[in-house]
Amino acid sequence: MLTIITGSQFGDEGKGKIVDLLSTDYQIVVRFQGGDNAGHTIIAEGEKFKLHIIPSGILSQSRLLVGPGTVMNPEIIVSEIDNLARSNIKVTPEKLGIDAKTSIIMPYHIQLDELNEVARQHKIGTTKRGIGFAYIDKVARDEIQLADIIDKHRFKQRLEKLLPQKKEAITSFGGDSDKIEGDWMDRYIQIGQTLKSYVTDVSYEIQIALEDGKNVLAEGAQGTYLDVIHGTQKYVTSSSTIAGSACANLGIGPTRVTNVIGIVKAYITRVGEGPLPTELGGKIGDQIRENGGEYGTTTGRPRRCGWLDLPMLRKAINLNGYTQLVLTKLDVLTKLSPVKICTGYKLNGKTLKYPPLQTHELANVSPEYTELEGWNQDITNIKHYSELPGAARDYIQYIENVAKIPITSISLGAGREQTITKDKI
């Protein structure tokens, strides 16, 4: 069985917790795109684990894989392995495999990313971690892969060809090209030797696992509306974040897919620039941000918060082909009344039930809301769906009726145990 999990919004939907929960039923958990610009937080037995590259199934018995569609800062992944070791979690080559074709984020990618953002007249809110420039090199066929840095001689040969043009690019942005000189090359060579035993063929591993009847869980980073093709251009990430990209990036045919799970937060958030039609300012927005801990795992930046946007959820369902939804952070809406849900937009005198195609049009819509009764009861320790306040169940049912696919689980807090399965009534 192959299951794909993606975020249905702008990322930060709580995918890490859900992957952690589901991973006990999967023999393999694999990351299929993105880099360390995304963060996943897992809380188990009171301890918090923040991950950026290593898949969220780290606390299970699953084999973890990083696929060739990702871009990886080797210093970050070694740091994650070391940090987990300090918590007595050993990430051995038997536990973690990294595809030989995984693109490596180089110091010049990070420098170019920083310089480019400074030069932009209109900022896009990049995390300045070199993600975009690493993907540019992949498309331009100038990438350095993991297979390169584990071979000292090949790595140096590749750099001899690439560094002159990277220095020229840095200079063209007004940057100091001397910054990419130094001891980082030796560090990368050393890290390459550390990671050598982790190298694998991810596509082949997954094919063999599926043929043997094992379960594979493919984990996406960011969210649907940060997709480089289908997202809110230009305020997007540099990779495809929707479910279909899991097949392309991992080298797995679409006929292998059994389930596609969409993670939807009970409200909506966004980091950085770009349209957010239901954005809340003032007291309610602040309350949601503080109650939900809406600050970036990677950057610490405060997230913009808004009411749940059903037109965007409709489109996300279509783009990903979701077979089920998991609703997260429902507890954050406690003590808000009324609770609003965006059911459509007004644009140039017309009513829309689906997001307009152009980003500038989405930025100019006026959301139309349905108001639902709120609830005051603390729901963070509820164990069964039937114990939820009636107003909370009505909220869930309203979303389900519009989505036309089932909400199978509801997350009521950050802890593993703060999750209820809807059919366990």
Catalytically annotated residues = 12, 40
Q: Is 141 marked as a binding-site residue?
A: yes
User: How many Å from the N-terminal Cα to the C-terminal Cα in the chain?
Assistant: 26
Q: Is 213 marked as a binding-site residue?
A: no
The string of DSSP codes covering 356-424 is -SSHHHHTT-EEEEEEE----S--TT--SGGGS-HHHHHHHHHHHHHH-S-EEEEE-SSBTTSEEETT-
Q: What is the rounded (10 degree) CA torsion for 110, 112, 118, 122?
A: -100
Q: Is 237 marked as a binding-site residue?
A: yes
Q: Is 192 marked as a binding-site residue?
A: no
Q: Is 17 marked as a binding-site residue?
A: yes
Tally of residues, the chain: 425
Tokens of residue 111, six digits: 């420098």
Q: Is 296 marked as a binding-site residue?
A: no
Residue 284 φ then ψ, to 5°? -65, -45
Q: Is 200 marked as a binding-site residue?
A: no
Helices (H), 64-151: 74-86, 107-119, 131-139, 146-149
Euclidean distance between CA atoms 40 and 271, whole angstroms: 15
Tokens of residue 198, six digits: 């982790």
Amino acid at 145: Q
Q: Is 90 marked as a binding-site residue?
A: no
DSSP assignment letter at 329? -
Euclidean distance between CA atoms 356 and 213, whole angstroms: 42
Q: Is 127 marked as a binding-site residue?
A: yes
Q: Is 128 marked as a binding-site residue?
A: no
Q: Is 340 marked as a binding-site residue?
A: no
Q: Is 13 marked as a binding-site residue?
A: yes
Q: Is 412 marked as a binding-site residue?
A: yes
Q: Is 95 marked as a binding-site residue?
A: no
The string of DSSP codes covering 165-234 is HHHHHHHHTT--GGGG-STHHHHHHHHHHHHGGGEE-HHHHHHHHHHTT--EEEE--S-GGG-TTTSSTT
Q: Is 38 marked as a binding-site residue?
A: yes
Q: Is 393 marked as a binding-site residue?
A: no
DSSP assignment letter at 128? -
Euclidean distance between CA atoms 34 and 221, whole angstroms: 6
Tokens of residue 134, six digits: 């690493």
Q: Is 126 marked as a binding-site residue?
A: no
Amino acid at 338: P
Q: Is 300 marked as a binding-site residue?
A: yes
Q: Is 269 marked as a binding-site residue?
A: no
Q: How many other β-carbons are positioned within 10 Å of the β-carbon of residue 285?
A: 17
Largest Cα span, the chain: 66
> Three-state DSSP class for 106?
coil
Euclidean distance between CA atoms 94 and 72, whole angstroms: 19
Q: Is 222 marked as a binding-site residue?
A: yes
Binding site residue list for substrate: 297-303
Annotated binding site: 11-17, 37-41, 127, 141, 222, 237, 297-303, 329-331, 411-413
Residue numbers in the known binding site for GTP are 11-17, 39-41, 303, 329-331, 411-413
Annotation: binding site for IMP = 12-15, 37-40, 127, 141, 222, 237, 301
Q: Which residues are annotated as a binding site for Mg(2+)?
A: 12, 39
